[in-house]
Chain A
């Protein structure tokens, strides 16, 4: 069959209907088919210990986080879904918490990442000074096309601020394509925007013609590939 005439790509099943849309009367029992993801993107969150990487990820979609119920085994990664530009985007988010010694994060984390969130703590100078070391890792292992976003976290601790916004802006401006913003995972300030902005940037960069490659289902060899993206009007998004 010709995939061009399929209304939904990869509809994840949904029966074996061959009903034509013209036969409306016969489609009485057909429900709206499950909507597949339009894009699949891998995002990693890196940064020195204690900067709040995990809280950024938890705050992303929900506030109901409760320490008592977390398993002690630890979370490896998460699949999260966002809607942007009318598209359904599945994010695979890797939090590198607990692996903050630069060389302990394996190159596999960086390899497939379409977006990298580099976090520091605005109240801790050393976490800002670590940034060049993190950049070295990014340069070494990450794809050149990966979107980079520098996040100064703990904006709720403004009174203890050590790293000025200007310092960080200057740092980000020296790295081509790096964006910068400040956020507070605690107050949930700018957190959603971080991810949406990053995803928006990734989508903007996507070529219009991409081979419709299937994603590997393997956890050990995650190489997310986008599906064919339709036209993408660029909405403006506020980040900082």
Chain B
């Protein structure tokens, strides 16, 4: 009945309510922006505002060379088991981090996993499509 977030405050809020359920889960499928490969089914992940740094998507050398550049992102889909994913790839370790990529076209990084926290797998909301 009451929509707490339905003020005209920002577009982000309305975007968010389209994506996140009342229970904090993803309402839509999470897909690769480039090839449409399905990463997560609806309702399988919870929204997290943890701030994470991801190297840029477009630059081929991003992961290995340009350590400084990238995006600090604070909207993620979080799952606690890698087998929750429909399709996803894991890069080799970069320090204690494994980046998540599309399993089919290998674009990325679309997400983040730290080897020190085996129950947290993050997919950046900004770097995937929702349908």
Contacts and interface: CB of A to CB of B under 8 A. Distances in A.
A13 B25 contact: yes
Given A71-B99, A72-B64, A217 B91 contact: no
B5 to A, nearest CB: 19
Interface in B29-74: 34-35, 37-38, 41-44, 46, 60-64
A73 B91 CA distance: 6
Contacts, number: 123
A31 interface: yes
Contact of B106 (A37, A71, A218): A71
A75 B90 contact: yes
Given A62-B104, A65-B105, A73-B63, A40 B92 contact: no
Interface in A180-221: 215, 217-220
B43 A58 contact: no
B19 interface: no
Interface residues of A, number: 37
B86 interface: yes
Interface string B79-99: 111111111111111100011
A81 B91 contact: no
Q: How large is the interface on B (under 10, 10 to 19, 20 to 34, 35 or more residues)?
A: 35 or more
A61 B35 CA distance: 11
Contact of A217 (B37, B63, B93, B118): B118
Most buried by B among A15, A69, A70, A215: A69
Interface of A: 12-15, 31, 33-35, 37, 40, 58, 61-62, 64-66, 68-81, 90, 92, 215, 217-220
Interface of B: 23, 25, 34-35, 37-38, 41-44, 46, 60-64, 79-94, 98-99, 101, 103-109, 115, 118-119
21 contacts: A13-B23, A15-B23, A61-B87, A64-B34, A65-B105, A69-B106, A73-B92, A74-B91, A75-B89, A75-B92, A77-B90, A78-B103, A79-B86, A79-B103, A80-B87, A92-B83, A215-B81, A215-B83, A217-B81, A219-B82, A219-B118
